[in-house]
């Protein structure tokens, strides 16, 4: 009997779930439950019904990438399988993603959830870097045997060499910095400079995704950010929701927020000034509109916060974290491998995870990486077409491959051998 394979990319920020063999997941929902101010009970996120999440309290089953609350995860999965995917777990297999170096106690809790609570007929546990590599290899005519996968997600950042679809565990490096830490840092900056938004996690997530970008020249951009009025290419305004006419925040002048794209890689301050003067007339008109203050709207301006927040990926020490930046982390991961692999890994760098969506991240990463890499090695960075879905699509490919049936662990094997013995098959 042909069984459905449920592919579940169980991230700390988002769950991506669907059936194996399909191109895109059927459901993408936040991996949390929340309690809006208007409600007294915790509710599950719905992809169809928009909800007012102003000052909503949040509970997450995953912290720093690892499962810490299996009971909450059970609730979220139960809602997902019954209401959104509409599958019967007892007649389905599960392909589940799990972070590297998960503790045996957490693996045991996960296996209990899958086999004892949901009664899935079989399970295969995959690591995100392997699936990202598999999907990227399927998109290319030239099949790379190995690649360096940089997975920058919600909870952490991993740089993992992958060889023939297996992660090289002893060479994997981790930075305890992801989208969650960047959002929290932006919350602190905005709360200190403008308006208290420490409780507005979802709102500041939206600000980060719409307005933040990676600077190619931090010293120059800090000088521009100090300027007043039209000379400041980075100043933009975000309007907070009022709970009546709009329940979501929005960027006041989206075109103005995109002005930074005119700045080139090696532009000096004088060249920047000339470019800004070209737009002067258009921007002056907009500034006149902005001077008409709408007292009914609560809003705040962002300037250097827009590029200082993603800058933490390259310099975690600025946040007080005693850890290497992303470029150095990648070099350490490659250096831990056999020297014959070094040139191939630098030539096949894959960026995946939601935190790689910042504009210009790959350009900046290449600039940071080039001085650290020997001159005779080529550096080639490939951002995934859709970094949030790349891992899920790799899982969908694997689930539809003929080898998948032999790779998974059945419920009978789990009951006979236990969690620890079954897990050896996934190593």
pLDDT at 53: 79
Locus of tokens 């669907």: 18
Task: Report pLDDT for 249.
Answer: 85
Domains of the chain by range and CATH?
5-127+388-426 (3.30.420.40), 133-178+315-383 (3.30.420.40), 179-185+197-305 (no CATH)
Alpha carbons 6 and 89: distance in angstroms, whole number: 8
Tokens at 202, concatenated: 């979802």
Strands of the 250-251 sheet, one edge to the other: 250-251, 236-239, 299-302
pLDDT at site 140? 78
Strands (E), 20-130: 27-30, 33-35, 57-59, 62-63, 66-67, 92-98, 122-127
Element (H, E) at 18: strand 14-19
SS3 213: coil
Q: Which residues of 291-327 are buried (b: 16+ CB within 10 A; e: fewer)?
A: eeeeeeeebbbbbbbbbbbbbbbbbbeebeeebbbbb
The DSSP 8-state label assigned to residue 8 in this structure reads E
Please give the model's pTM, rounded to 2 decimal places. 0.90
**Residue labelled with tokens 């929902």:** 29
pLDDT at 230: 76
Q: Is 276 helix (H, G, I), strand (E, B) or coil?
A: helix
Q: Give me 380's structure tokens.
A: 């080639």
What is the rounded end-to-end Cα distance, in angstroms, of the chain?
28
Residues 6 or more apart whose Cβ sits within 8 Å of residue 177: 156, 157, 312, 313, 316, 319, 321, 323
- Are 199 and 240 a contacting pair, CB within 8 Å? no
Burial class, 5, CB count within 10 angstroms (exposed 0-12 / middle 13-18 / buried 19+): buried
C-alpha separations of 119 from 17, 68, 84, 134 in Å: 18, 21, 18, 28
- Tell me, what DSSP letter sits at residue 67? E
Alpha helices per DSSP H over 1-94: 70-79
Pick left, alpha or beta for residue 165 (phi over 0 → left; psi -120 to 50 → alpha; otherwise beta).
left
pLDDT score at 295: 45
CA distance linking residue 79 with residue 85, whole number of Å: 9
* 239, 244, 248, 251: CA torsion to nearest 10: -20
Q: Contact, 407 vs 124, CB < 8 A?
A: yes
**pLDDT digits (tens), the chain, 427 positions:** 457 899 999 999 999 999 998 989 999 999 999 998 888 899 888 877 777 778 889 999 999 889 999 999 999 999 999 999 999 999 999 999 999 999 999 999 999 999 999 999 999 999 999 999 999 988 876 667 899 999 999 999 999 999 988 999 999 999 999 999 999 999 999 999 888 999 999 999 999 999 999 999 999 999 998 888 777 889 899 998 887 777 788 888 888 888 887 776 666 656 656 655 545 545 445 555 544 445 446 888 999 999 999 999 999 988 888 999 999 999 999 999 999 999 999 999 999 999 999 999 999 999 999 999 999 999 999 999 999 999 999 999 999 998 888 888 999 998 888 888 888 877 6
In degrees and rounded to multiples of 5, residue 353 shows phi and psi of 100, 150
Half-sphere exposure of 364 (CA within 13 A, CB side): 21
């Amino acid at each position: 009997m042909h069984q459905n394979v449920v592919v579940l990319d169980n991230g700390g920020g988002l769950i991506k779930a669907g059936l194996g063999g399909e191109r895109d997941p059927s459901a993408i929902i936040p991996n949390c439950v929340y309690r809006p101010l208007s409600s007294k009970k915790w509710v599950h996120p719905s992809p169809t019904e928009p909800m007012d999440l102003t000052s909503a309290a949040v509970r997450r089953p995953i912290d720093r990438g690892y499962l810490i609350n299996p009971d909450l995860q059970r609730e979220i999965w139960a809602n997902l399988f019954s209401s959104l995917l509409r599958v019967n777990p007892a007649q389905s297999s599960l392909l589940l993603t799990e972070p590297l170096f998960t503790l045996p106690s957490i693996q045991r809790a996960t296996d209990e959830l899958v086999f004892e609570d949901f009664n899935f007929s079989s399970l295969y546990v995959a690591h995100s870097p392997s699936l990202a590599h598999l999907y990227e290899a399927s998109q290319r005519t030239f099949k790379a045997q190995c690649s360096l996968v940089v997975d920058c997600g919600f909870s952490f950042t991993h740089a993992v060499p992958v060889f023939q679809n297996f992660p090289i565990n002893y060479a994997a490096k981790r930075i305890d910095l992801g989208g969650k830490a960047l959002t929290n840092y932006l919350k602190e900056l905005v709360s200190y400079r403008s308006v208290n938004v420490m409780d507005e996690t979802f709102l500041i997530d939206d600000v980060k995704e719409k307005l933040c970008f990676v600077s190619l020249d931090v010293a120059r951009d800090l000088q521009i950010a100090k300027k007043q009025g039209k000379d400041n290419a980075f100043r933009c305004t975000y309007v907070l929701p009022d709970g009546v006419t709009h329940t979501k925040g929005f960027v006041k002048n989206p075109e103005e927020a995109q002005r930074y794209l005119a700045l080139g890689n090696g532009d000096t301050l004088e060249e920047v000034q000339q470019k800004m003067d070209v737009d002067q007339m258009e921007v002056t008109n907009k500034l006149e509109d902005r001077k008409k203050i709408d007292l009914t709207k609560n809003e705040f301006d962002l300037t250097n916060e827009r590029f200082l927040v993603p800058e933490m990926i390259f310099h975690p020490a600025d946040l007080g974290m005693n850890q290497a930046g992303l470029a150095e982390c990648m070099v350490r991961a490659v250096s831990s491998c056999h020297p014959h692999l070094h040139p191939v890994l630098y030539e096949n760098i894959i960026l995946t995870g939601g935190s790689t969506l910042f504009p210009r991240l790959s350009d900046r990463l290449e600039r940071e990486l080039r001085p650290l890499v020997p001159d005779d090695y080529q550096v080639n960075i490939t951002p995934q077409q859709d970094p949030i879905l790349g891992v899920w699509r790799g899982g969908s490919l694997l689930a539809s491959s003929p080898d998948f049936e032999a790779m998974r662990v059945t419920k009978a094997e789990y009951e006979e051998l236990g969690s620890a013995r079954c897990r050896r098959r996934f190593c």
